[in-house]
Structure 1
Amino acid sequence: MTTAAQVLQGLFSAEGLEDPYRYYTELRRHGPVSLIGGSGPYAAVVTGYDAVNQVLRDPRVRVTDDAFTDSHGGAAWREHPLLAALNNSMMYSNGERHVRARRLFQQVFTPRRVQELEPAMVAQISALIDGLEARLAAEGEVDFMAEFAYLLPSSVVAALLGIPAEDLVWFRPRVQRINEFLDVTGKTAEVLRRADEATVELSNYYRRLIAVRRAEPADDLISRLVAEDSDVSDEELVCNLLVLFNASFVTTIHLLGNGLSLLLAHPELRSCPVEPFVEEVLRYESPVQFVARYAEDVIEVAGTTIPPKEVVLVMLGAANRDPESFSDADRFEPARFLPDPKTHTAERRAAVGVARGAGGDADRGRAASPPIPTGARPLSFGAGPHFCLGAALARAEAQLAFPLLMERLPGLRAARAPVRYPQQFLRGYESMPVEVCDAP
Structure 2
Amino acid sequence: MTTAADMTYDPFDPELIQDPHPFYHRIRQLAPVFPSSMSSDMWMVSDEAAKVYVVTRYDDLAYVLEHPELFPSGNKTGPEDPPEVTEELARGIPKAKTLYDSDQPGHTRLRTLMQGAWSSQRVEQFAPRIRDWAGKAIDGFAGTGSAELFAEYADVVMDHAILDFLGIPSEDHEQVHAWDKLWVKVFIPGHPPEDQRAAAREIVEYQRYLERLFNDRRENPRDDVASALVHATTDDGDRLTMAELVWGLMEMYGAGYGNTAEGLANMLFLLLHEPQRWEELLQQRELLADAVEEGLRMEGPVQWLSREAAQDTELGGVTIPKGSTVMVLYSAANRDPEAFPEPDEFCPARRGATRTGAKHVAHGRGIHYCVGAGWSRVAIRAGVEALMDRLPDVRLRADFTPEFHLPEPMVRCVKALPAVWQPS
Native 8 Å contact 2:96 2:243 kept in 1:
no
Q: Deviations over 1:80-105 (max 9, x none)?
A: 849x9776222111113222222111
How do 1:136-215 residues align onto structure 2 when only pairs under 5 Å count? 137-138=143-144, 140-178=145-183, 187-190=189-192, 193=196, 196-197=200-201, 199-215=203-219
TM-score, normalization by structure 2: 0.82
Q: 1:114 to 1:160 in 2, by over 3 A?
A: same
Residues in 1 aligned to 2:329 and 2:307: alpha-carbon distance in whole angstroms:
11
Residues in 2 aligned to 1:4 and 1:195: alpha-carbon distance in whole angstroms:
42
Residues in 1 aligned to 2:106 and 2:336: alpha-carbon distance in whole angstroms:
34
Q: Counterpart in 1 of 2:48?
A: none
Paired residue total = 398
Residues in 2 aligned to 1:247 and 1:116: alpha-carbon distance in whole angstroms:
21
SS in 1 for 2:176: helix
Percent identity over paired residues: 31
How do 1:18-417 residues align onto structure 2 when only pairs under 5 Å count? 18-36=18-36, 40-41=40-41, 42-65=51-74, 69=77, 81=89, 88-133=97-142, 137-138=143-144, 140-178=145-183, 187-190=189-192, 193=196, 196-197=200-201, 199-229=203-233, 230-270=238-278, 271-272=280-281, 273-337=287-351, 375-415=357-397, 416-417=400-401
Alpha-carbon RMSD: 3.4
SS in 2 for 1:147: helix
Identify the range of structure 1 (156-165 vs 114-123) with the bigger mean alpha-carbon deviation. 114-123
**What's the CA shift for 1:180?**
7.3
Q: Counterpart in 2 of 1:359?
A: none
Residues in 2 aligned to 1:253 and 1:33: alpha-carbon distance in whole angstroms:
31
Q: 1:156 to 1:38 in 2, by over 3 A?
A: closer
Q: 1:94 to 1:274 in 2, by over 3 A?
A: same
Q: Does 1:434 align with 2:416?
A: no
Q: Which runs of 5+ in 2 are unaligned?
A: 42-50, 282-286
Q: Counterpart in 2 of 1:343?
A: none
Q: Which runs of 5+ in 1 are unaligned?
A: 340-371
Native 8 Å contact 2:2 2:30 kept in 1:
no
Q: 1:124 to 1:2 in 2, by over 3 A?
A: same
* One-letter amino acid of the counterpart of residue 162, structure 2: V
Q: 1:299 to 1:158 in 2, by over 3 A?
A: same
Q: 1:264 to 1:87 in 2, by over 3 A?
A: same
* One-letter amino acid of the counterpart of residue 386, structure 1: H
Native 8 Å contact 2:72 2:310 kept in 1:
no
Residues in 1 aligned to 2:406 and 2:243: alpha-carbon distance in whole angstroms:
32
Q: 1:436 to 1:335 in 2, by over 3 A?
A: same
SS in 2 for 1:44: strand
**What's the CA shift for 1:438?**
7.1
Native 8 Å contact 2:117 2:229 kept in 1:
no
- Determine which structure has the larger helix proportion and give its number: 1
Residues in 1 aligned to 2:352 and 2:367: alpha-carbon distance in whole angstroms:
28
* One-letter amino acid of the counterpart of residue 225, structure 1: L
